[in-house]
């Protein structure tokens, strides 16, 4: 009986090594002065930034859900990496954390270096947009666990915050203003419903025209990253809510203390065309629970700082905080 190799079982070590070499320049483009060493060690090293009195390390982890199915089916793999970074760093800034570094996990049935390189290129782009360093990752080739073309992603972001600045909930009170930061599209939540509606119920195809361009371009628009806007306006922000799964109605209460409610003028929300279209087939309450509806973040701001925020961002006012039960009232 002839001997067998790891490659015979479906795992190609040489392909993995070639992939690592191919992504080195893209990864290095994300490094800042705090990165210690390079790629290829057993762990990524990052020096703590100076200037903090009581530094606290924050962490966030996430994936991109079934949006990956669309990426695989369409072959458009260069944006899901941006989504991966966005879902993590947008959470960090809600606790006033400044992203420092990022790690990724890429699991697949068969490593196709070109595909994996496209994904990591997107991750690197997401890190550049969020001014965070990509210091490590893991590529797992697991035949039998995934079919050849399938892959999964997970991301891990680490940030730093001043301990005294982390508790934003205690600063929220009645009489403050709610500012919507527009989303870039569906972002990375609700794609099981998106896929069922467009491709099962309506039997549309990826190439069908939607709002003047192929449908796939709308559905694969990468999640917007709000880190730079946060940094530029940090001193004028009371609190932030990242609008992900659960929508505005479930995420905004996470930054409200007991005795304070959010009152939102529903007519002021700039609903994106993709949500207006889906709203013809999905109940409104379900739409607002499953999707961001065009609002990627909500910032809580003192009235005297509203003009400064509006002048420095593309945000717009959608409501205010009032005394009442800790909830969201859409009026």
Instruction: Tell me, yes or no, whether 94 and 147 share the same domain.
Output: yes
Q: Of 315 and 20, which is predicted with more confidence?
A: 315
The model's pLDDT over 95-133, given as tens digits with 9 standing for 90+, comes to 999 999 999 999 999 888 889 999 999 999 999 999 999
Instruction: Tell me, yes or no, whether 24 and 134 share the same domain.
Output: yes
- Give the separation between CA 29 and CA 39, rounded to whole angstroms: 12
- Give the separation between CA 297 and CA 303, rounded to whole angstroms: 18
- Tell me how far CA of residue 210 lies from CA of 79, 132, 157, 200, 215, in angstroms: 19, 34, 34, 17, 5
**Confidence band for 167, pLDDT divided at 50, 70 and 90:** very high
Q: Which two tokens stand for residue 22?
A: 């191919």
Are 60 and 100 spatial neighbours (Cβ–Cβ below 8 Å)?
no
Q: Which two tokens stand for residue 170?
A: 């205690």
Instruction: Tell me, yes or no, whether 128 and 200 share the same domain.
Output: no
Q: Is the pLDDT of residue 12 over 80?
A: no
Segment 162-188 shows an average pLDDT of 97
Query: Based on the structure, what is the number of domains in the chain?
Result: 2
Strand 133-141 versus strand 151-162 pairing type: unpaired
Confidence (pLDDT) at 146: 86
Domain housing 31: 7-165
What is the CATH number for 249?
A: 3.90.650.10
Instruction: Tell me, yes or no, whether 97 and 197 share the same domain.
Output: no
Instruction: Tell me, yes or no, whether 34 and 47 share the same domain.
Output: yes
What is the CATH number for 126?
A: 3.30.1330.10
Instruction: Tell me, yes or no, whether 13 and 151 share the same domain.
Output: yes
Q: Give the whole-number percent of the chain exceeding pLDDT 90.
A: 83
Q: Which two tokens stand for residue 250?
A: 């479930």
Instruction: Tell me, yes or no, whether 156 and 175 share the same domain.
Output: no
Are 280 and 179 spatial neighbours (Cβ–Cβ below 8 Å)?
no
Q: Is the pLDDT of residue 8 over 60?
A: no
Last residue of a domain, one of 165, 191, 218: 165
Averaged pLDDT of the chain: 93
- Give the separation between CA 331 and CA 97, rounded to whole angstroms: 32
pTM, two decimals, is 0.94
Q: Which two tokens stand for residue 262?
A: 């959010």
Say if 316 falls within a structural domain.
yes
Instruction: Tell me, yes or no, whether 180 and 258 share the same domain.
Output: yes
The model's pLDDT over 34-46, given as tens digits with 9 standing for 90+, comes to 999 877 778 889 9
Q: Give the whole-number percent of the chain exceeding pLDDT 70.
A: 98
Residue spans of alpha helices (H) in the chain: 13-28, 67-74, 80-93, 113-129, 191-195, 215-219, 227-233, 247-251, 273-278, 284-290, 306-312
Say if 284 falls within a structural domain.
yes
Confidence (pLDDT) at 10: 65
Last residue of a domain, one of 165, 191, 208: 165
Q: Is the pLDDT of residue 15 over 80?
A: no
Segment 234-257 shows an average pLDDT of 97
Say if 1 falls within a structural domain.
no
51 Rama sector, left if φ>0, alpha if ψ -120 to 50, beta otherwise? left
**Confidence band for 294, pLDDT divided at 50, 70 and 90:** very high
Say if 2 falls within a structural domain.
no
Confidence (pLDDT) at 2: 74
Instruction: Tell me, yes or no, whether 138 and 266 share the same domain.
Output: no
Say if 17 falls within a structural domain.
yes
């Amino acid at each position: 009986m002839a001997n067998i190799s790891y490659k015979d079982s479906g795992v190609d070590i040489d392909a993995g090594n070639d992939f690592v070499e191919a992504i080195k320049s893209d990864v290095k483009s994300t490094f800042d002065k705090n990165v210690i060493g390079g790629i290829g060690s057993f762990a990524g090293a990052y020096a703590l930034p100076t200037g903090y009195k009581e530094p606290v390390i924050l962490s966030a982890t996430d994936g991109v859900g079934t949006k990956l199915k669309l990426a695989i089916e369409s072959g458009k793999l260069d944006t899901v990496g941006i989504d991966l970074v966005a879902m993590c760093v947008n959470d960090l800034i809600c606790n006033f954390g400044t992203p420092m570094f990022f790690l990724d996990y890429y699991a697949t049935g068969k490593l196709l270096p070109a595909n994996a390189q496209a994904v990591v290129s997107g991750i690197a782009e997401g890190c550049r947009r969020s001014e965070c360093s990509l210091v490590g990752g893991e590529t797992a080739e697991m035949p039998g666990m995934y079919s050849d073309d399938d892959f999964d992603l997970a991301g891990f972001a680490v940030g730093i915050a001043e301990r005294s600045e982390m508790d934003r909930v205690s600063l929220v009170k009645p009489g403050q203003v709610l500012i919507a930061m527009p989303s870039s599209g569906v972002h990375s939540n609700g794609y099981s419903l998106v896929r069922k509606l467009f491709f099962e119920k309506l039997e549309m195809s990826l190439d069908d025209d939607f709002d003047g361009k192929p449908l796939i371009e709308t559905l694969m628009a990468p999640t917007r990253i709000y880190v730079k806007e946060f940094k530029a306006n940090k001193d004028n922000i009371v609190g932030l809510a990242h609008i992900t799964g659960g929508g505005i109605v479930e995420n905004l209460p996470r930054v409200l203390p007991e005795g304070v409610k959010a009152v939102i003028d529903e007519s002021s929300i700039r609903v994106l065309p993709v949500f207006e279209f889906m709203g013809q087939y999905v109940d409104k309450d379900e739409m607002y629970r499953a999707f961001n509806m065009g609002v990627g973040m909500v910032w809580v701001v003192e009235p005297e700082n509203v003009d400064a925020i509006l002048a420095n961002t593309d945000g717009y006012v959608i409501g205010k905080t009032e005394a009442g039960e800790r909830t969201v009232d859409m009026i």
